Structure 1
Amino acid sequence: MTEPVESRTARRQPMVAEVTLARRGRAAVVRASGALDSENVAALDGELARAAELSGQSRTVVDLSALEFADSSVLHVLLDAQRRHRADDRQLVVCGPLRPVVDRLFGVTGTTEFFVLAEDVDAAVNAAR
């Protein structure tokens, strides 16, 4: 006779991320930390939209140095933000240093050339236009 075995469903823990917006000189700095995926990437999208609307800001810096994980949804949001910034004659600069998993996302997808990349926030804020 067989006895029923309790079935366990693996539940994925939600990704935890923090996305902030600050001003630094004439740049808006959006900083993402933790892990971003399709379930929480709206936070990044929202702050990038807010950054694009700030008056007196000619550049948005996206600091991904504290981002531990990113999937293709993050890349999609960054590409959309890049298009919006270009349409408004504003510059979007992505900076790190990038963690290997985030760097690999750009490399594998061949999207590195679509962005202005800088080593860190200081370099991104002062990047030549």
Structure 2
Amino acid sequence: MTGEDTDVGAVLPDAYGVRVIVCVGEFDADTVRPLDVAAHEALDDPGVRRLVLDVSTVTFADSSVLYVLLRTCRSGRLVLAGPVPSRLERLFDMTEVASLFTLVDGVEAARSL
């Protein structure tokens, strides 16, 4: 599942073992499933050594997306590319989980880790 548009936004072509999922719009209990599926497909792919979620255009996120991010983070291969929108940052602050994630400014910075 690379190089295609999805309900999450887009999954960019893999490059050097890095898959980028561009997250666009709102994520809640009704809309988070495509992100969950795309993230886990990436983690199940042995050619993917890092998963980058571009969260810069997320307009809303609730605990449903936080659950997906935390489960995905356990793999040790997740990087969140920002800038992190204020609503998502507020969710991270309220739940005190920001320190659990690798956060970088932009997709290219995430790819180069």
TM interval, short-chain normalised: 0.7 to 0.9
Q: Identify the residue that residue 96 of structure 1 maps to in structure 2.
A: 82
Match of 2:52 among 43, 55, 61: 61
Task: Report how far residue 20 of structure 1 moved.
Answer: 2.6
* 1:1-129 paired onto structure 2 within 5 Å: 18-22=8-12, 23-83=14-74, 85-86=75-76, 91-127=77-113
Give the TM-score normalised by the residue count of structure 1: 0.76
Once superposed, which parts of structure 1, at least 4 consecutive aligned residues long, lie more than 6 Å away? none
Task: Report how far residue 107 of structure 1 moved.
Answer: 1.4
Cα displacement string for residues 21-41 of structure 1 (whole angstroms, at most 9, x for unaligned residues): 222332011111011101111
| Secondary structure at the counterpart of residue 38 of structure 2 | helix
Question: Structure 2 unaligned runs (5+)?
Answer: 1-6
Task: Report how far residue 112 of structure 1 moved.
Answer: 0.6
Question: Structure 1 unaligned runs (5+)?
Answer: 1-16
1:19–1:47 CA contact under 8 A, matched in 2: no
Q: Matched residue pairs, number?
A: 106
Structure with higher Rg: it is: 1
Task: Report how far residue 53 of structure 1 moved.
Answer: 2.0
